[in-house]
Amino acid sequence: MLRIHVTGASGSGTSTLSRALAAALNGTHLDADDYFWLPTEPPFTTKRDSVERLALLSDDLRRHSVVVLAGSVAGWGAELEDSFDLIIFLYLDAATRLARLRQREAQLFGHANPEFLSWAAQYDVGELPGRSLQRQRDWLAARSCRCMELRSDVPVDQLVAAALAAEIRGARTLCAWGELKFLALLHADEGDA
């Protein structure tokens, strides 16, 4: 079994990397939003009960031998949160993330929700409830599995290569979260396995 969790701010590319990495590993891509939110029209308006979402996700994780999960499961319970072999944290500057979100929201819904964009814009400073840069870094520091951080302003195939290289390295700790630094794994450490 292999479980990888790809997390980061909205618009940082977690779903894109998760899909590509799952394909490269002949695995299954799952998205935390599919468990967090009830299917509604319009979407993302009604949260699913926390016990139900955890049970649904846990069932799906057990069904597949290789899973790459996109999104955020912070606060869903230590048993799930510490069940990953690798957590990849994607970072992207706010201006680029917001441009991606405006484009994505317009394609999906015909317009970008101003409330959502406002919430997403404050991620780096963390003024509102939910995900923020500091809360995610604190969450990562508490994990028992290997974690790595990648800047997602490079092509997805390079991110996949970095993730696969990290998985090959096995038990090696890739990032000391107490002294967090952006990793340049794309072409570094090739002879240091």
Selection from 143, 184, 142 nearest residue 161 by Cα: 184
pTM for this prediction: 0.84
**Rounded Cα gap, residues 45 and 42, in angstroms:** 7
Number of neighbouring beta carbons within 10 Å of residue 18: 28
Q: Which domains does the chain have, with CATH numbers?
A: 2-179 (3.40.50.300)
Which tens digit of pLDDT belongs to each residue from 139-157?
Answer: 999 998 889 999 999 999 9
Higher pLDDT among residues 16 and 113, named by residue: 16
Which tens digit of pLDDT belongs to each residue from 69-100?
Answer: 999 999 999 999 999 999 999 999 999 999 99
DSSP conformation class of 153: S
Q: Hey, what are 162's tokens? A: 């970095």
31-46: average pLDDT: 93
Alpha-carbon separation of residue 12 from 39, 41, 101, 117, 145 (angstroms):
23, 25, 9, 13, 22
Indicate if the pLDDT at residue 129 is higher than 80: no
Tell me how many degrees the CA angle 73-133-121 measures, rounded to the nearest 5.
105
